[in-house]
Chain A
């Protein structure tokens, strides 16, 4: 059964710092990987999509990488801002469904 582990479960950092969020999968058969953020009481907002043939994707201050051989993905956030505070999710796709972990709750301290 596919499982997604996100480390750390919670993270608080001062504004301006760079940070890395980690995601690992029990099944290394990873297809496309999509990072999301979820604000409290809201839906999921797509951040980055790494296609199966790619190793990384960048959007502004965000960079996501994918290592299929080890079953790991990282999300790098540069120069963090209070607006980055949210829960970050990296579901894996397999057996016709997305499998979610419980996410990393990020708090940026002004």
Chain B
């Protein structure tokens, strides 16, 4: 099925550990982005990419790294997990900026 696939769905990390959240899309979308969702707050943009090899920071980029080596994949790396990074993470893609976003089902991350 065409869409945005995120793995894993759930993850528990210890403070200081690193990990990579995976995001893949099979719609040949140029634009991909990562958001985090916290209780009582709207989704906030972490990083985004307008195409392979191009990434930029969003609203809350600290503690996260991204790269975009292919059109299909846009992994999000947590360098040294902190309890403040406990959240639900969503990956989204669209064929162009500001048009027709498709979201993945999310990764629920808990840092203890």
Contacts and interface: CB of A to CB of B under 8 A. Distances in A.
Contacts of B45: 97-98
A32 B42 contact: no
B90 A103 contact: no
The size bracket of the interface on A is: 20 to 34
Interface in B93-112: 97-106
Interface string A88-108: 010101001111111100000
B42 A46 contact: no
Contact of B42 (A34, A42, A93, A100): A100
Give the 6 A-B residue pairs with the shortest CB-CB distance, closest first.
A100-B42, A93-B98, A44-B103, A43-B105, A100-B43, A31-B98
Interface of B: 33, 35, 40-45, 48, 50, 56, 58-59, 90, 92, 97-106
